Amino acid sequence: MLSVSDSKLGIIGLGYVGLPLAVEFGKHLDTVGLDINVQRIEELKTGVDRSLECSTEELAASPRLSYTHDLSELKDCNVYVVTVPTPIDDHKRPDLTPLVKASESVGKVLNRGDVVIYESTVYPGATEEVCVPILEALSGMKFNQDFYCGYSPERINPGDKEHRVVNIKKITSGSTPEVADFVDELYRRIIVAGTHKASSIKVAEAAKVIENTQRDVNIALINELAILFHRLGLNTLEVLEAAGSKWNFLPFRPGLVGGHCIGVDPYYLTHKAQEIGYQPEIILAGRRINDGMGEYVVQRLVKLMNRKRIHVCRSNILILGLTFKENCPDIRNTRVIDIIKELQDYNVEVDVYDPWADAHETHEEYGIDLISEPKQGHYDAVIVAVAHQEFRDLGVEKIRALGKPESVIFDVKYILPKDQVDECL
C-alpha cells in the first residue's frame, strides 16, 4: 500500500474547493494542480486567484505546488483528488458531466497502486456506481485490485476567512480498510481540526449531501414563517429575535437560497431517493418554498409600489448585489437572478450593481450587464439583495438617496434598520 510520505498528488479542478486544498498539500507534498481553464492556470502562476480564496502570499507559501492545464503532467502522480463541481441541469436533475469528464481524464493516467479520492458532492453510491466503472474502462485495470478509491467531501465555505480548509473537520473514507486508513492519514497531514473516518464511501457521501439538505429545510421553514408573519402583520426579524432568546432556538434567517451547495445538493439526494422508489416529501417541499422566494419578493415589492402609487411598468429598479452570498465573488446558482427575471416580466428597467461580481462572468453566465455605479435619485425602488459590507457601509441614507423622493427600499437581508426601510423579508 502506498505511503503518505511517498505520495505525489494531482488535484483535478482548481476552483473554490481545489485551490485551497492544493495550496495546503503543496506545503508538505509534491502537488500538481490541474484545471482546464488556461487563463486560470496562467493567473495562478503569477500569484493571482480571482476567486479571492487564496492571497498572493498564501499561493507563494506552497513551494511544492505547480499548476498545469496539461493532463500529461500528472502522469507521475499516484494520488488523484477530484474537486470538480457537481451542478444540476435545467430540470433540477444531477449533472454529472464534470465528474464523468474528470474521471475519464484520471483513468487515462492511472497507474497500478494509485488512489483516486473524490471530494465533489454526489448522491450515496455515485463514486462506486458512476466513477469507478469509468476509471476501470479507461485504465484497463480492476478496482480494489489494481487501483483504489476514497471519498472525502469538501466543506469549503466561499468567502469565509474564519472557517478555512485546515480548521474544518474532514470526513474521510476508503474503498478498503487499508485505503481508508491511508486517506485519513493523508488528510491529517493538513487538517488541523482533525478527521472523521467513515465506515464506507457511501456513508461519507450521504453525510455530505445531508449537511446542506438539513440547512435547506431549516431555511425553508423560516421562509414559510416569513410569508405567514407578513400576512399576520408581524415583523419576522422581531419574532425570530424574540424566539432566539431561548438557548436552543436555531438562528436561521429567511432569504434567497442559492450557491453551489444548499440550493443544489438536496436534488442529488432526492434523485437517488426517487431512483430507488421513495418519494421524499419534506426535502422537496423545502426546495419548492426556497425556489419560490425570488418571485415572492417581487410580488411584495409590486404591491408596495402600487400602494405608494408608483407605476410599476417602465419603472427603474436597482438591485444591490448579485452574488449568491455576501463578500464573495461567486455567482453560481445565485437566486437573485429569480428576482431579476420576475421583474423583467413586469416590463421594468433593472440595474444590477455588485462590486464583488465579475462583469464578464456575469454577462457570460446570465446575460446581465452590471452597472459600474448606481445613479443618484434615479430609482423607483431599491432591493438590497446581498449583504455585502459595501452596502452595510453605505447605510440607509445613502441607499435611499439612490431613489426618487417617493421610492421604495426592500431589504431582503436585514442589513438596514427595520424602521427605516419600506419593506423587509
The single-letter DSSP state of residue 136 is: H
∠ CA 103-104-108 to the nearest 5 degrees? 115
> Under 8 Å CB-to-CB from 396, ≥6 apart: which residues?
409, 416, 417, 420, 421
Closest CA to 374 of 319, 312, 417, 307: 319
Q: Are 100 and 134 spatial neighbours (Cβ–Cβ below 8 Å)?
A: yes
* Closest by Cα among 321, 381, 317 to 354: 321
265: which strand partners? none
Instruction: Using DSSP bridges, classify how beta strands 170-172 and 195-197 pair: parallel, antiparallel or unpaired.
Output: parallel
The Cβ of residue 79 has, within 10 Å, a number of other Cβ atoms equal to: 24
Point out the residues that are catalytic.
261
**Cβ contacts of residue 30 below 8 Å, gap of 6+?**
7, 8, 9, 64
Of 149, 164, 186, whose CA–CA distance to 17 is shortest? 164
**Phi and psi angles of residue 395, each rounded to the nearest 5 degrees, phi first:** 80, 170
- What residue ranges in 165-211 does DSSP mark as E strands? 170-172, 195-197
Question: Going edge to edge, which strands form the sheet with 379-384?
Answer: 349-353, 316-320, 379-384, 403-411, 423-424
Residue 348 φ then ψ, to 5°: -110, 160
**262, 268 contact by CB (below 8 A):** no
8 A C-beta contact, residue 85 and residue 120: yes
